[in-house]
Structure 1
Amino acid sequence: MQNRPVAAAGFILVATLTIGFIDQFVRVIAETSSLWTFHVIRTAMIWTGVLSWLALSGRRLAVSNWRGLLARSGIMATALMIYFGALGFLPVAQAAAGLFTAPIWVLILSVAVFGLRIGPVRIAAVLIGFAGVVMVLSPNPDAIEPLVFVPILGGAFYAMGAIATREWCGTETALVVALGSFTAQGLWGLVGIAAIETLGPGDGFLTQGWVWPDGEVFAWCVVQAAGSLLAVVCLTRGYQLAEASLVSVFEYSVLGFSALFGLMLWGDALSPVSLLGLGLIAGAGSLIVLRGRGARVA
């Protein structure tokens, strides 16, 4: 099997750069639309593009484990709904910091559920990672707001989805797995719209039901759909070209890209404490991943 770590890193960096850029504009969508509308529209666009490609290429989608795919899709979609919901009130870098606690959660779940034995290095990495999260999400200890920690819950679900990907969906193609997640997010959107219309809509990103998109929202949904597909393709290709434990470390570049684009586009300057926290999260996650290479006990 080919092993091209430089090319793999290139694909991962393209993916994380794309995500760091396109997710900045969820705040534009949030100004006039809703989380639920956004996911319904994006899912419809993605399916339109994929079905068009399938028709032109003559290829077919095949699922080998429906139960595993459905379960994994629901878990991962929940993680991403929490992440995108947080983008309605947090900068991308902060929301991404919560989501990227996933390696820490994977380790915790592996210990709690599967009885994995870990040593002091990875225990220290968990503590450092959580310290980094606190520094990013609440850089001012005198004004801690509980809502800023919501993305950490997304990270927990993302970790469960990562475990499920290997355990339940190891035989599925990357496109099938990705479409499962996007479809579940679209269904989340429909459920949210129905629930809000029943209970009574509000006027915010999270509390509005269906909102007919104007031209600007529609355009950014197109960008999101195309960018998301590009990122998934690049991530998949990256993991095909090199060992997963090495490639996954490069995914932490999304924290840097998110902070950079947030500063360039919106003037979201992170404090030195938050920047240090991002570094601690990336370092802790990388240490956990690399420490676990080829070993069940550290």
Structure 2
Amino acid sequence: MRPNDRTGLAIVLSLLALTLFDAMGLVIKHLSVTYTAAELSAWRNLFGIIPAVIALVLSRKWHNAGRRLRIRQWKLALMRGAVVTFAQLFFYMSLGLMAFATASTITYANALFMTALAVPLLGEKVGWVRWSAVLIGFVGVVLVMKPGSDAFTPVALLPLAAAAFYALVTVQARQMDDDVPSPLVNLYSSVAALFGAIILALAFGGFSPIASWSDLGWIAAMGAFGGTAVLLLVISYRMTEPSNLAPFSYFGIPLAFLLGWLFFGETPWDALFPGALLIAAGGLLIIWRERHRSRISATRPDAAGN
């Protein structure tokens, strides 16, 4: 357990972040008719810096540390921002081309990628139980994507790639020093993601003029939703063990389905089920094993296993 573990508050913050992420996704899907994914990524990061700066200024931990902006792991923080750039690009593209709930559900494969990445990056030992969970979840992803059928489209690979990059972002957050304020970590990553998104937008043909004041308002809201959600998620994951928060992330699957139906009239039952259930089952099995291992390690430190 982390020294200042506050699981209850972390759960509330993570659920709020989940809701804000879905709100951001709805705005992106709405705007994707007029603007490219690279443009939206750049605008999202620009406006998303504002919550990061406000949170840093209000951070008591940052002030107590002398308001230093330089951190020891600055290269890792900037690399994390570069990874965010590509995660956003793939996910935003998928939102414009797929049903909202389908794209969102496939990205929940990030829990499976996190397990795989924890081996080389965090030095964790992953046994047969968690690998079985990864396999179950991946079968769920395959069922949602439906490769080999007439319903399959290569576009379904976009949210899967986004899931892999988002998983890497989460693992990298766990590599940051605990004494570095979360808002400062987020600010580094946001600035790096902004520059990365601008480069991609220019490479994809530049920026389109903002069509209306209404679009500008939606763009600002998109950035505010996303920036605040990322900050809340980083804070929550640094307040408690990830396994305490992970079960609640799967509330996002029915929430995405509900929002996609309410705002866009989408009801992709055939695409989501039963694959979505297997994705959630694989993730929940990983979570169960993590908690079981934690209990065993607390009583028998030499008994860490699968």
C-alpha distance in 1 between matches for 2:126 and 2:52: 42
Matching residue of 1:235? 233
C-alpha distance in 1 between matches for 2:137 and 2:107: 12
Which one-letter code corresponds to 2:150 in the other structure? D
The answer as to 2:159 corresponding to 1:151 is yes
The 8 Å contact of residues 19 and 254 in structure 1, kept in 2 or not, is answered as no
Alignment partner of 2:249 out of 251, 254, 268: 251
Which one-letter code corresponds to 1:178 in the other structure? N
Which residues of structure 2 form unaligned runs of 5+? 298-303
Note the C-alpha offset of 1:182. 2.5
C-alpha distance in 1 between matches for 2:199 and 2:9: 41
The answer as to 2:69 corresponding to 1:62 is yes
Which one-letter code corresponds to 1:63 in the other structure? R
The answer as to 2:209 corresponding to 1:212 is yes
Matching residue of 1:28? 30
Matching residue of 1:278? 276
Q: Where do residues 119-268 of structure 1 align in structure 2 (5 Å cutoff)?
A: 119-138=127-146, 141-168=149-176, 170-197=178-205, 209-214=206-211, 215-239=213-237, 242-268=240-266
Tell me the secondary structure at the aligned position of residue 268 of structure 1: coil
Tell me the alpha carbon deviations over residues 137-193 of structure 1, each in whole angstroms, 9 at most, x when there is no partner.
339933311221221112222222222222245443221222233223322222123
Which one-letter code corresponds to 1:142 in the other structure? D
Percent identity between the two aligned chains: 25
Tell me the alpha carbon deviations over residues 213-270 of structure 1, each in whole angstroms, 9 at most, x when there is no partner.
1223211111112212332343345445543311122122222211110011111102
Which one-letter code corresponds to 1:62 in the other structure? L
Which one-letter code corresponds to 2:116 in the other structure? I
Compare 288-297 and 273-282 and name the one that shifted more: 288-297
Which one-letter code corresponds to 2:290 in the other structure? G
Note the C-alpha offset of 1:89. 0.6
Tell me the secondary structure at the aligned position of residue 45 of structure 2: helix
Tell me the secondary structure at the aligned position of residue 258 of structure 1: helix
The 8 Å contact of residues 85 and 197 in structure 2, kept in 1 or not, is answered as no
The 8 Å contact of residues 45 and 227 in structure 2, kept in 1 or not, is answered as no
C-alpha distance in 1 between matches for 2:117 and 2:51: 36
The 8 Å contact of residues 46 and 225 in structure 1, kept in 2 or not, is answered as yes
Aligned length: 287
When residues 242 and 164 of structure 1 are mapped into structure 2, their CA distance, relative to the original with a 3 A threshold, is closer
C-alpha distance in 2 between matches for 1:4 and 1:66: 27
TM-score by length of 1: 0.83
Note the C-alpha offset of 1:107. 2.1
C-alpha distance in 2 between matches for 1:24 and 1:13: 17
Matching residue of 1:72? 80
Tell me the secondary structure at the aligned position of residue 273 of structure 2: helix
Which residues of structure 1 form unaligned runs of 5+? 198-208
Matching residue of 2:10? 8
Q: Where do residues 103-114 of structure 1 align in structure 2 (5 Å cutoff)?
A: 103-111=111-119
When residues 128 and 54 of structure 1 are mapped into structure 2, their CA distance, relative to the original with a 3 A threshold, is closer
- Cα RMSD of the aligned pairs, angstroms, is 2.9
Alignment partner of 1:93 out of 84, 87, 101: 101
When residues 146 and 229 of structure 1 are mapped into structure 2, their CA distance, relative to the original with a 3 A threshold, is closer
Which one-letter code corresponds to 2:69 in the other structure? A
C-alpha distance in 2 between matches for 1:2 and 1:113: 24
Which one-letter code corresponds to 2:182 in the other structure? A
Compare 172-181 and 80-89 and name the one that shifted more: 172-181
Tell me the secondary structure at the aligned position of residue 143 of structure 1: coil
Note the C-alpha offset of 1:2. 5.8
